[in-house]
C-alpha cells in the first residue's frame, strides 16, 4: 500500500473581457511554488500559500515564467499516467470559481498547443501502448463520460437517455453509476470523437461572469487494463486502473453572475455539492491530525462526493488543480479557492495496485528474489547463484560455518538462505 498526499497545483489565468472592462488590477503573485494574494482594500496585507506547483499563466507565452498547457500536463498528467501504468487508480480534478479557467485546463481548445490535460493524457496513453515492444503484454481501454447536473447523473455518451441514472454501491468496487455506457476504444481518435460528442451534450449556459459557464460537473473515466502472460509459468496476470478526470462546475455568487430562474437553481445545486466537497476535504484533513478518534466524513451528502469517495482519501493517487482569477474584484472567491487547495494538501490517499492477490504475491516474491540476487553478487557470492544446484550449497552451509566461520559471515548466509527459499516458492507458484 502506497500512502501519498494529494498533489495540489494552482494556476492563474489572464484577465477576461469583463475584468478588463472594469480595469481590474492583478492581486496574485507567484515565486517558485509559493502563491501570494494581496488584499485590494489593504495593499500591505497579503497571504502566502505553498503548493506542489504554482503556474503563472497570466501573461503571454513570451514571458519566461509563463506556464503553457503542455507544462501543466508534463508536471501533473505524466506522473498520474505513470501511476496508472503501475496499476494504481488515479484522479485529476479542477476546482475554482466560475470562469476561472477549469475547463480550459482540463479540456483546452481544439487548436495547436491549446489541448488540456484530458486530451493530452489520452493521446499519451495510446502512444505508450503503441511504443511497447513487449509481446507478453496486452492492453484494453474503455471509457465513460457523465455529468452531474442538479444532483442528477446523465450519460454524456448516450444523451438520448434523459433519465436520471442511479448511483449504487458495490461491496468491493465502491460507488458506481448503474447503466452508465462504457465503450471500448482502440485509438486516440476514438476517444477524441467520444469526447467531442460528450462535450456537445454537456449542459452549458451564459452568465454575467462566463459566456460558456459549465452548469454541471463532468467526469471522464478511463478503465485501463494491462495483461501480462508469463511463458515460464503459463500464468496471466492482470492490472486494472481507473483514471478519473473531473472538470467541476465553478462556485458562484448569484449577485455576480446575475443568475435567475433555472440558472439560479443550477447555481444553488453547484454550490451545494462544492460545499459538501469542502466539508469532506476538511474532515479528511482533520482526521490526518487526529491519531485515534476520526470525525464523520459526509460523502453521501452529495452525488459528487459519493462518486469521488475513493479518490478522496481512498484507493487512488489524486491531483487537484485550483484555477484562480487574478482580478481584485474576485478577491474573496480567489482567497476561498486558495484556502480550499491548502486544505486538500493535507489529505493522504492509501493507493494499492489493483491486481489479483496471488499475482501480487508472485510479483512481490520475484522482486524480492531479484533484490536478493543483487545483494549476493555485491557480497561476492555470485558463483553460488550461477551454479547448477544452489540448494546443494545451502545444505553445505552449516559444514562451512563449522570449519571456517570467517569464510561466510552470517549476513551472507541469511541472504543466501532467503534467496533460495524465495526462489523455490516462485517456482512452485
- Write out the binding residues for ATP: 96-103
Annotated catalytic residue within 53, 73, 95, 104: 104
Q: Which long-range contacts (CB under 8 A, 24 or more apart) does 62-71 make?
A: 65/30, 67/11, 68/113, 69/105, 69/108, 69/113, 69/114, 69/115, 69/116, 69/120, 70/113, 70/120
Annotated catalytic residue within 108, 198, 250, 267: 250
Q: Which long-range contacts (CB under 8 A, 24 or more apart) does 61-66 make?
A: 65/30
Could you confirm whether 102 is annotated as catalytic? yes
Task: Tell me the C-alpha distance between 209 and 252, whole Å.
Answer: 9
Cα dihedral 350→175→105→216 (10° resolution): -150
Annotated catalytic residue within 7, 55, 87, 102: 102
The DSSP letter of residue 132 is -
Instruction: List the one residue out of 15, 311, 306 whose CA is nearest residue 175.
Output: 306
Beta bridge partners, 333, equal none
Annotated catalytic residue within 247, 256, 328, 342: 247
Sign, CA torsion 194/161/201/89: negative
Could you confirm whether 356 is annotated as catalytic? no
Q: In sequence order, which residues have a C-beta less than 8 Å from that of residue 64 and are 6 or more positions away?
A: none
Contact 363, 230 (CB under 8 A): no
Could you confirm whether 247 is annotated as catalytic? yes
Beta bridge partners, 154, equal 147
Task: Tell me the C-alpha distance between 381 and 89, whole Å.
Answer: 40
Task: Tell me the C-alpha distance between 321 and 336, whole Å.
Answer: 14
C-alpha angle with apex 70: 217 to 187, nearest 5 degrees? 70
For 142-186, the three-class secondary structure string (H helix, E strand, C coil) is EEEEEEEECCEEEECCCCCCCCCECEEEECCCEEEECCCCCEEEC
Could you confirm whether 250 is annotated as catalytic? yes
Collapsed DSSP state (helix, strand, coil) of residue 30? strand
Beta bridge partners, 186, equal none
Annotated catalytic residue within 54, 73, 95, 99: 99
Q: Report the run of H or E that residue 49 belongs to, with start and end.
A: strand 46-50
Q: Which cell goes with 175? A: 460507488
The annotated binding site is made up of 96-103
Annotated catalytic residue within 7, 57, 87, 101: 101
Could you confirm whether 174 is annotated as catalytic? no
Parallel, antiparallel or unpaired: strands 53-56 and 7-12: parallel
Give the residue numbers annotated as catalytic, written as ranges.
99, 101-104, 247, 250
Amino acid at each position: 500500500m502506497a500512502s501519498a498526499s494529494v498533489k495540489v497545483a494552482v494556476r492563474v489565468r489572464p484577465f477576461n473581457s469583463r475584468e478588463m472592462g472594469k480595469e481590474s488590477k492583478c492581486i496574485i503573485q507567484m515565486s517558485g511554488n509559493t502563491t501570494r494574494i494581496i488584499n485590494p482594500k489593504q495593499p500591505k496585507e497579503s497571504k502566502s500559500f505553498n503548493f506542489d506547483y504554482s503556474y503563472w499563466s497570466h501573461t503571454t507565452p513570451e514571458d519566461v515564467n509563463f506556464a503553457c498547457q503542455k507544462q501543466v500536463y508534463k508536471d501533473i498528467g505524466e506522473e498520474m499516467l505513470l501511476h496508472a501504468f503501475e496499476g494504481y487508480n488515479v484522479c485529476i480534478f479542477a476546482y475554482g470559481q466560475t470562469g476561472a479557467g477549469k475547463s480550459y485546463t482540463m479540456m483546452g481548445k481544439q487548436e495547436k498547443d491549446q489541448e488540456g490535460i484530458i486530451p493530452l493524457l489520452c493521446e499519451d496513453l495510446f502512444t505508450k501502448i503503441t511504443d511497447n515492444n513487449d509481446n507478453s503484454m496486452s492492453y484494453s481501454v474503455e471509457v465513460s463520460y457523465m455529468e452531474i447536473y442538479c444532483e442528477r447523473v446523465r450519460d454524456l455518451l448516450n444523451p438520448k437517455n434523459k433519465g436520471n441514472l442511479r448511483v449504487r454501491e458495490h461491496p468491493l468496487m465502491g460507488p458506481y453509476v448503474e447503466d452508465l455506457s462504457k465503450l471500448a476504444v482502440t485509438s486516440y481518435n476514438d476517444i477524441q470523437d467520444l469526447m467531442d460528442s460528450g462535450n456537445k451534450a454537456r449542459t452549458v449556459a451564459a452568465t454575467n461572469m462566463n459566456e460558456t459557464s459549465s452548469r454541471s460537473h463532468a467526469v471522464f473515466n478511463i478503465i485501463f487494463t494491462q495483461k501480462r502472460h508469463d511463458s515460464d509459468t503459463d500464468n496471466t496476470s492482470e492490472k486494472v486502473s481507473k483514471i478519473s478526470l473531473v472538470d467541476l462546475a465553478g462556485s458562484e455568487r448569484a449577485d455576480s453572475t446575475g443568475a435567475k430562474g433555472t440558472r439560479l437553481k443550477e447555481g444553488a445545486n453547484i454550490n451545494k455539492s462544492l460545499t459538501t466537497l469542502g466539508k469532506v476535504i476538511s474532515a479528511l484533513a482533520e482526521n490526518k491530525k487526529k491519531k485515534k478518534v476520526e470525525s464523520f466524513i459526509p460523502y453521501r451528502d452529495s452525488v459528487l462526493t459519493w462518486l469521488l469517495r475513493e479518490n478522496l482519501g481512498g484507493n487512488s493517487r489524486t491531483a487537484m488543480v485550483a484555477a484562480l482569477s487574478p482580478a481584485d474584484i474576485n478577491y474573496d472567491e480567489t482567497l476561498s479557492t486558495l484556502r480550499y487547495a491548502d486544505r486538500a494538501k493535507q489529505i493522504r490517499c492509501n493507493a494499492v495496485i489493483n491486481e489479483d492477490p496471488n499475482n501480487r504475491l508472485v510479483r512481490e516474491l520475484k522482486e524480492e528474489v531479484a533484490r536478493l540476487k543483487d545483494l549476493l553478487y555485491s557480497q561476492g557470492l555470485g558463483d553460488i547463484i550461477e551454479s547448477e544446484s544452489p540448494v546443494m550449497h545451502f545444505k553445505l552451509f552449516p559444514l562451512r560455518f563449522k570449519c571456517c566461520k570467517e569464510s561466510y559471515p552470517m549476513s551472507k548466509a541469511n541472504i543466501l538462505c532467503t534467496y533460495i527459499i524465495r526462489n523455490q516458492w516462485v517456482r512452485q507458484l
